[in-house]
Amino acid sequence: MTVANSSLRGLGWCRAGCSLGSFKITTFYPSDFIRPLKALEPSRFILIAYIASGHFIHTATRNPFLLRLISQINVVVGAFFVISGYVAAYTTTELGQRKGSKRLDNAVEFVITRIMGHWPLHIVVLLLFSPVFLFVDISYSGVATAAWNGFISVFMLQAWFPTSAEVWNAPTWFLSALSFSLCALPYGLRILAGQKKEELRRTLVILTLLSLVPKVAYSNDLHAWGIMEGMLNAKTHPNYALFNSIRFSPLGALLEVLPCRPARRAFGSSAVRLWAWGSGLRAESLREFFWELRPERIPDP
């Protein structure tokens, strides 16, 4: 019989085992196993609050400063790709070892399992509102356009089409880009998991530069260095199609997801771990928070 007791949170966790009259207590610490990422709760709340506010801020104020500050939704959405990549790396690679977990052995199962986590609900929403979507498309664009929009929406392909990425259920372009990233993750993580720290740092720099290239090109070609895209629309933006091809790009999403593994391994010994940051924000245990800030708590392979 095994009894788990988490009352001694500041000192670690104690596990007691009873077998044939023997009694043994073993103390182990959070880094000995994968703990839930507590920081995801406050992080997601902050991001979602900003995105929700950005969608409705134009109805709440006319203050130019507040509008510019809160309407840059597309910048914040990128953080969700980063979180997705961090979670994938955290749960599918071995901490302190240069290898992936067994979850990466079957790429098809890895991809299907994760996509099926959001695709069924996506289909339910489309079915509920399909009469509205079809009515609008057929009335203004014809049957062919309605059928095409339905096809790319059902199979989450809309992010590949910059001018059609927000057809039907507009926010699901994110799921479209994320689904493509999930298809590539098991192969990318398997390679990244075997790299040494020096290789991971180099990989992180390369992936970051690749991610910046299209963004810099967009800003340079359109002279958009000072543009606040959240304040513009298709009519006022200098090239809305190009802007969409950058912000909706599944390849761009992949380049935001992949660097999380190199960052976690290459700089984990000196960075504040996400779950420890979350514990600090929620003031659950200051001792636990500062314990995890110690570099030696994160193994350096």
Q: Per the structure block, which two tokens stand in for 208? A: 């970051």
pLDDT at 124: 92
Give me the pLDDT at residue 200, please.
Answer: 77
Q: What's the confidence (pLDDT) of residue 128? A: 92
275 contacts 288 by C-beta, under 8 angstroms: no
Residue type at 97 in one-letter notation? Q
CA distances from 220 to 73, 74, 213, 226, 260 (A): 21, 19, 10, 11, 27
Task: State residue 265's pLDDT score.
Answer: 55
Give every residue of the chain whose pLDDT is below 50, as ranges: 1-33, 269-301
Distances (CA, A) of 217 to 212, 220, 223, 238, 251: 8, 5, 10, 14, 15
Please tell me whether residues 12 and 29 are part of one structural domain. yes
291 in any annotated domain: no
Give the model's pLDDT for residue 187: 84
Domain that holds residue 15: 1-33
Residues 6, 80, single domain; the answer is no
Whether residue 81 is found in the same domain as residue 14:
no
Quote the pLDDT of residue 290: 41
Residues 131 and 88 in one domain: yes
Do 22 and 128 reside in the same domain of the chain? no
Residue 234 is predicted with a pLDDT of 77
Instruction: Give the ranges where 14-115 is alpha helix by DSSP (H).
Output: 40-56, 64-70, 73-92, 107-115
Q: Residue 292: its pLDDT value, please?
A: 43
Angle at 169 between CA 168 and CA 173, to 5 degrees: 105
What percent of the chain is helix, strand and coil (3-state, nearest 5)? 65, 5, 30
Looking at the structure, tell me whether residues 193 and 223 fall in a common domain. yes
Instruction: Say whether both 24 and 52 belong to one domain.
Output: no
Instruction: Please answer whether residues 286 and 260 qualify as being in contact, where contact means their C-beta atoms are separated by less than 8 angstroms.
Output: no
Into how many domains does the chain fold?
Answer: 2
Read off the pLDDT of residues 192-221 as tens digits, 9 standing for 90 and up: 777 777 877 888 888 888 888 888 888 888
Give the pLDDT confidence score for residue 4 in this predicted structure: 39
Judgement on whether residues 120 and 253 belong to the same structural domain of the protein: yes
